[in-house]
Amino acid sequence: MWMVAIAFFGLMLLGMPIGVVLGVSGAIGLLQLGDPSFLAMAPKRYFEGLDMFTFMAMPFFILAGELMNASGITQRLIAFAMSLVGYLRGGLAHANMVASVLFAGMTGAAVSDAAAMGNTLVPAMVKQGYSKPFACAVTAAGSIIGPTIPPSNLMVIYGSLMGVSIAGLFAAGIVPGLLICAICMAVIGALGKKLGLPKGEGRPSLGNILASFKDSLIGLTMPAIILGGILAGIVTPTEAASIAVAYALFVGFAVYRTLTLNQVVVMLIRTARITGAVFLIIAAASILSWWLTFHQIPQMIAQAMLSITDSKAGVIGMILALLLIVGMFLDITAALIILAPVLGPLTLAVGIEPVHAGIMIILALNLSLMTPPVGACLFVLCSVTGEKLERIARALTPFLIAEVAILILIAYWSDLTLFVPRLFGYIN
């Protein structure tokens, strides 16, 4: 076990890709079993780790988000958000949050949200008088709404690995995503006068709202197709994702006529690269997961944690602390794949409903997307805006505190999360 741990952390410190770290560590674990025939299991486990039909939803959701963004939907959604909240002090910051909610229903990825809003809203906010670190902080805080409100690639991975209803996870993500938006808007409102945030002119106009709603209706229809079809039981998440791609292609080519074949080829290549990187992590992690299961390490960790406290509240606190710390240093996809099989039995042991456990784990890891040193959304915003990471991180502090408060609320008040899944019959 020590050899595997040394290999894992040693390769990470050397900066090796996380997929390589997981695969090599797993292979060393197999060699340590003493029989060379065990090593022959590595290729078999590698491919079997990806042999899940539900994984097909991921590339479709990624491609659908790329297509809708390139079609000009993002700008229309931002205009609609501005018509709703642009009149408030810090109106453009509020619109950033509302647009993140609308955009979340198309991409399911925080990095895509951060890149899209970073390229469009951050320059607009700076031009209107916001400081660049604050504009980036607002965008980073809103970006984690993407993988919280369905569709969510992390929910697809978790549901596939743990045998939990993906549709149930999608339904459970709605309330937490809206709560994150609401509390971040409350933070913006509280900081408005202190930071001297610009105030919009006039009051919202019904005519303007209706006009921008009409202009963005085609884009707003896509989340309705995805979520409505899944929750109504008409389509599976994988089928909904493929329908979303077909709808995005139709909008881009036939309605807005903003897409070209060359753009689609570039997006297909980008989708293949993103999907390939994620699938490499999943496949390599399956080798290490088998080794962990063989030695019953998840059960040992669960027993060790239960020996500290067997109370539900205490276990939830330990899980949240573990995830928030691990997420600061490890890619969240890798963290999810490694820790889900460990934490799953532990949550069942203390009576946590599987869908609630999944949302709690996913939301905790989502927060790490905006915490240094590995926060992916921070690096994306640094790249697209040229702002320094430490300045964004400082401006992000009040938003991070507020979102951790939402995480704690969601973790300890299960009925709040499970209300929608129960409404649609995914859990009792």
Q: Is 36 exposed, middle or buried (0-12, 13-18, 19+ CB in 10 A)?
A: exposed
Confidence category of residue 180, pLDDT binned at 50, 70, 90: very high
pLDDT digits (tens, 9 = 90+) for 52-106: 777 787 788 778 877 877 777 777 878 888 888 878 888 888 888 988 888 776 6
Which amino acid makes up residue 182? A
Listed by start position, the domains of the chain span: 1-48, 49-423
Q: What are the phi and psi torsion angles at 150 (to 5°)?
A: -65, 150
Read off the DSSP letter of residue 270: H
**Phi/psi of residue 236, nearest 5 degrees:** -85, 165
Taking 90 as the threshold, does the pLDDT of residue 338 lie above it? Answer: no
Residue 70: C-alpha distances to residues 73, 153, 202, 251 (Å)? 7, 20, 32, 11
Q: In what helix (H) or strand (E) does residue 335 lie, and over which residues does it extend?
A: helix 332-349
> What is the distance, to the nearest Å, from the Cα of residue 391 to the centroid of all Cα atoms in its chain?
23
| pLDDT value of position 352 | 92
**pLDDT tens column, 254-280:** 888 888 899 999 989 988 887 887 788
Dihedral angle of Cα 48, 49, 54, 55, to the nearest 10 degrees: -120
- CB atoms < 10 A from the CB of 280, how many? 18
* Residue with more model confidence, 398 or 210: 398
257: left (phi over 0), alpha (psi -120 to 50) or beta: left
pLDDT at 202 over 70: no
What would the two tokens of residue 278 be? 């994620």
Task: Provide the pLDDT for residue 364.
Answer: 92
Q: Are 70 and 161 in contact (CB under 8 A)?
A: no
